[in-house]
């Protein structure tokens, strides 16, 4: 059975790009358009991998990522961050939230800054599943 990969991104063009790459490489794509829908899909479908944007309506990828990594039932799901937000800013945000909330979460498995070539995305996915 092919592995399930969830794409959480509010941009329909990005979702379409990732879904095409996934289908061409025999993965089963699932899609969600924002952080709230993303969490619902993760809890319902338990995907093998999540490809996660950061800047989205109704709950950012940062909030969803922290939720995943602090939830005992979900924290083993690998996450590829796929975003226009620079890694440096992402890491700073994690540091600020760590100080504020007092909980440390691991860095993302892979961080890809948009845009990427299809092969770069495939290589990243293959590293994790």
Residues that bind other proteins (CB under 8 A): 34, 54-60, 62-63, 84-86, 89-90, 92-93, 96-97, 99-100
Nearer to other proteins, 3 or 63 (CB): 63
State which residue, 60 or 78, has the beta carbon closest to other proteins. 60
- Residue ranges with strand state E in the chain: 4-8, 28-32, 49-52, 79-83, 110-113
**CA angle 116–22–25, rounded 5-degree value:** 105
Pick 96 or 129: Cβ nearer other proteins: 96
CB of residue 120 to other proteins, shortest distance in Å: 20
Query: Which residues does 28 contact at the CB level (< 8 Å), separation at least 6?
Result: 2, 3, 4, 5, 22
Of the candidates 48, 8, 52, 53, the one whose C-alpha atom is nearest the C-alpha of residue 28 is 48
**What span, in angstroms and rounded, lies between the C-alpha atoms of 129 and 92?**
28
CB 54 to other proteins: min, Å? 7
Closest approach, Cβ 10 to other proteins, in A, equals 8
The two structure tokens encoding residue 126: 């293959």
State the nearest-atom distance from the C-beta of 9 to other proteins, in Å.
Answer: 12
Q: Of 26 and 100, which has the nearer Cβ to other proteins?
A: 100
């Amino acid at each position: 059975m092919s592995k399930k990969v969830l794409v959480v991104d509010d941009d329909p063009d990005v979702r379409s790009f990732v879904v095409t790459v996934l289908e061409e490489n025999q993965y089963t794509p699932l899609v969600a358009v924002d952080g709230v829908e993303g969490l619902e899909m993760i809890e319902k479908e338990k995907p093998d991998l999540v490809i996660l944007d950061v800047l989205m309506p109704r709950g950012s990828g940062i909030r969803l990522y922290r939720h995943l990594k602090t939830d005992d039932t979900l924290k083993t799901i690998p996450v590829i961050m796929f975003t226009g937000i620079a890694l440096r800013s992402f890491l700073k945000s994690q540091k600020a939230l760590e100080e504020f909330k007092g909980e440390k979460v691991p860095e993302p498995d892979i961080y890809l800054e948009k845009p990427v070539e299809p092969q770069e995305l495939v290589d990243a996915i293959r590293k994790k599943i």
